[in-house]
């Protein structure tokens, strides 16, 4: 059965381009078009879409208002399709994730993206992924499960080294998960936090601005040559791998994508594990695919501690699942319990959680 998609877009050019791309897939049917959020709300019960693609700016009812209404009346996956911007507007785009949207994708433009085969395939794959994800009407706290996987038995509190760095990887659903996790870190958090989020070009600064609103710690893009400093949150740049050199300083790499991704979670995890060894904590959050699984294994093999987000709180349980299946995740926790677990580790409470 084909995936039914409703397009909500007030630009006729963008609408035509989106239809052309999606209709090129035999597995996707565009079952409706709307130019305003109000039109979309009237169409949803009639066409019963599996996925809704919406712009942010529309007359009468914008994308944020539409997303809020959809999550209340007809909850289903929403993909925000918008131009990437470097203004306050970018923060508004990420507010749709707060309202319940699942992910963000750049809007196709004439001559630049619409005829790009990579862009086409990425959008089609994104729709396929979203058609199978869970939708949370509200971010809910799930019961904390103290799930210690079997390979943790090989470790003990006596062999545990107090962490000196935290490294986090995420993909689909990552912005929401990162907001939940990072907002719980206290002002005196004593470690550097290094994050790798798969994100499309032009949206990274907007993500950081959005995260900064609810975070006590300063957030920035990691700069080449800088040493990770305690109490700061660093993000990998767009379109480049982030690693540490022999002195522990940030370096960028233009080497080929790993498993289709640049920056790659696995590359950063492996590099951090090599430098910090036992003093590293690796966290793998929601995301499609398996990027980060081998990197998390490198952290575990170096003697560090590893945490995977659980399936119940993940929008897509792909990357964390791959780490668990590889035997690389020493603990599996719901997203709301990961920050408290970090604070527990800093008190040398290795198993008492």
Which residues are catalytic, by number?
171, 198, 291
Instruction: Compute how many other C-beta atoms are within 10 angstroms of the C-beta atom of residue 326.
Output: 14
**Among 139, 1, 136, 25, which residue's Cα sits nearest to residue 77?**
136
CA distances from 280 to 7, 115, 298 (A): 44, 43, 11
Which residues, listed in sequence order, are joined to residue 234 by a DSSP beta bridge? 194, 220
Burial 138-177 (b: 16+ CB within 10 A, else e): eeeeeeeeeebbeebeebeeeebeebbbbbbbbbbbbbbb
Both tokens of 225, joined, read 């040559």
Which residues, listed in sequence order, are joined to residue 148 by a DSSP beta bridge? 331
């Amino acid at each position: 059965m084909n995936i039914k998609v409703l397009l909500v877009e007030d630009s006729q050019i963008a609408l035509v381009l989106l239809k052309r791309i999606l209709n090129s897939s035999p597995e996707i049917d565009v079952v409706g078009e709307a130019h305003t959020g109000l039109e979309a709300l009237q169409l949803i019960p009639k066409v019963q879409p599996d996925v809704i693609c919406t712009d942010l700016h529309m007359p009468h009812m914008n994308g944020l208002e539409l997303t809020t209404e959809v999550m209340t009346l007809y909850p289903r996956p929403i993909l925000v399709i918008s131009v990437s911007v470097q203004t306050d507007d970018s923060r508004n785009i990420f507010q749709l994730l707060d309202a319940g949207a699942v992910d963000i994708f750049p809007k196709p433009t004439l001559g630049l993206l619409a005829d790009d085969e990579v862009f086409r395939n990425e959008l089609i794959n994104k729709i396929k992924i979203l058609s199978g994800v869970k939708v949370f009407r509200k971010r809910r706290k799930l019961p904390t499960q103290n799930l210690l996987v079997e390979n943790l038995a090989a470790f003990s509190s006596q062999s545990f080294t107090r962490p000196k760095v935290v490294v986090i990887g995420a993909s689909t659903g990552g912005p929401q998960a990162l907001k939940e996790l990072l907002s719980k870190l206290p002002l005196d958090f004593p470690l550097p936090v290094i994050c790798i989020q798969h994100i499309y070009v032009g949206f990274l600064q907007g993500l950081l601005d959005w995260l900064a609103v609810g975070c006590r710690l300063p957030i920035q893009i990691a700069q080449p040559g800088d040493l990770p400093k305690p109490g700061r949150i660093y993000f990998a740049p767009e379109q480049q791998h982030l690693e540490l050199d022999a002195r522990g300083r940030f370096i960028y790499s233009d080497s080929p994508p790993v498993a289709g991704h640049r920056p790659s979670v696995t590359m950063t995890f492996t590099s951090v594990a090599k430098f910090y060894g036992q003093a590293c904590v690796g966290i793998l959050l929601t995301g499609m695919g398996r990027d980060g699984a081998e990197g998390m294994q490198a952290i575990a093999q170096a003697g560090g501690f590893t945490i995977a987000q659980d399936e119940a709180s993940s929008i897509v349980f792909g990357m964390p699942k791959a780490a668990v299946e590889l035997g690389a995740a020493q603990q599996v926790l719901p997203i709301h319990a990961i920050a408290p677990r970090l604070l527990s580790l800093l008190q040398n409470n290795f198993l008492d959680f």
